[in-house]
Structure 1
Amino acid sequence: MSTQEMKQENSWMNLIFNIILPVLILNKLTKYLGPLNALLLALAFPLCYGIYDLIKRKKVNAFSALGLINVSVTGGLALLGIHGFWFAVKEAAFPTLVGLFVFGSAFSKKPFIESIFLNPGVMKVDLLEEKLKLHDKQGEFHQHLRKATMWLSLSFVFSAICNFLLARHIFTNINADLTSEAKSILLNEQIAKMTTWSMTIIMVPSILFLLGIFWYLMRGVKEYSGLTTDDLMKE
């Protein structure tokens, strides 16, 4: 395995350590550990993964940074006793930030779509580059990657809008006369409900959106390099 493949960012590990585990900790362990301890534990995962990735790849992991922001804001709002509308804003803000990051990467040397789909551990990226060079299509293909990345950023805008509408329905104001413990329990229930419904209502359309973007990307691969998906996939 080449050094490039060894240092390739793992999208699944990113998702698990920077988003899934912190959210599960805040949702499920707050009532056992207390709000502050649960927040600190949840922050530990994106922080440690970000440090590990920095040492391994000599590059700041943007998703770890966003994960830290997301967990900090979620836990911070809970600690401050803020709920209702501001949780809806938070739920919309995170995919918006990711979307802005993805959109910005479209104007860099390596659009974000390339990191997701053109993974040297899965696809024969060297063969693709060879064919693009042979047909003198590197510039056209980079423009295609840029457009695909912009479409990907729109999928996060879609998620942000859906998140906000769903969160406005779920995160209702909590009675100020309740005890702190009762408020925490109700807020955790709302967070858990939001996580559950977002998986169903938001994740499925987002996956369909991604499949459409992948089809668009591979159509460009075939147009500019002559290679099919089967030609590119490693056995």
Structure 2
Amino acid sequence: MSQNQMPKQENPWLNLVFNILLPVLILNKLSKFVGPLWALILALAFPLGYGAYDLIKRKKTNALSVLGLLNVLLTGGLALMGIQGMWFAVKEAAFPTLVGLFVFGSAFSKKPFIETLFLNPTVMRTELLEERLRSNQKESEFHLHMRRATMWLALSFGFSALLNFLLARRIFTDIDQTLTPDAQSVALNDQIAQMTTWSMAVILVPSMIFLMGIFWYLMRGIKNTTGLKMEELLRD
């Protein structure tokens, strides 16, 4: 298939921003200004809207939109019900666990998630990659490498889930029930803000190191099966 005939590919980073990052920021930052209910409704709008757009345009369900909806519903629902402490720690661990399971499951599909994340035709010359794999008769070996790299990516989410749980258990302590409902809501929002801030250092940095290691492993496998270097694959 030529580049002109190729269907428009989904941007994985835009996918993450609309389905995960923006809803989390809305729940964390806007609840104290508009209330937990309206923050929940607004946060739900992003993965719902993006998922509906993706369904109409590509005729398939966006799995990350579904995960984003679940994450928003869990976080906002717990806040609305006034549930705190241990359950928020469970929720913080549940989301990366769900993502990890989704990524792990994709390893056994025709297109493992690692291909969607890194081998984007708008950035890489995937037609050259496929041509070289055919000429080297390395398609099966390449797909096995993609499966293994995807499993490593799933493991990184499991590692993130463990760190999330340990950090959340320290931050999400029980809130004084003698406080007014508004004061309890503010205290919970402060805990969520702390979790977001600390997770950047405690979770994001190790995860990025893990991701860079996976990327190195991925590119090493591509070089071994195709003989192509990174600069040869990148589009001008």
Corresponding letter in the other structure for 2:173: T
Q: Is 1:79–2:100 an aligned residue pair?
A: no
Task: Give unpaired runs (5+ residues) of structure 1.
Answer: none
Equivalences for 1:52-201 in 2 at 5 Å?
A: 52-201=53-202
Checking the alignment, whether the CA contact within 8 Å between 1:35 and 1:78 is kept in structure 2 is yes
2:107 and 2:169 map into 1 onto residues whose CA distance is: 31
Query: Structure 1 vs Structure 2: percent identity of aligned residues?
Result: 68
Corresponding letter in the other structure for 2:143: H
Matched position secondary structure for 1:186 = helix
Aligned-pair CA distance for 1:126 = 0.4
Partner of 1:9: 10
Once superposed, which parts of structure 1, at least 4 consecutive aligned residues long, lie more than 3 Å away?
A: 1-5
1:180 and 1:210 map into 2 onto residues whose CA distance is: 41
Aligned-pair CA distance for 1:84 = 0.3
RMSD: 1.0
Checking the alignment, whether the CA contact within 8 Å between 1:5 and 1:121 is kept in structure 2 is no
Relative to structure 1, the CA distance from residue 3 to residue 161 in structure 2 (aligned partners, 3 Å threshold; closer, same or farther) is farther
Checking the alignment, whether the CA contact within 8 Å between 1:96 and 1:157 is kept in structure 2 is yes
- TM-score where L is the length of structure 2: 0.97
1:163 and 1:36 map into 2 onto residues whose CA distance is: 25
Task: Give unpaired runs (5+ residues) of structure 2.
Answer: none
Partner of 1:212: 213
Partner of 1:35: 36
Relative to structure 1, the CA distance from residue 52 to residue 174 in structure 2 (aligned partners, 3 Å threshold; closer, same or farther) is same
1:80-109 per-residue CA deviation (whole Å, 9 max, x = no partner) reads 100000000000000000000000000000
> Greater shift after overlay, 190-199 or 50-59?
50-59
Aligned-pair CA distance for 1:3 = 5.0
1:208 and 1:127 map into 2 onto residues whose CA distance is: 29
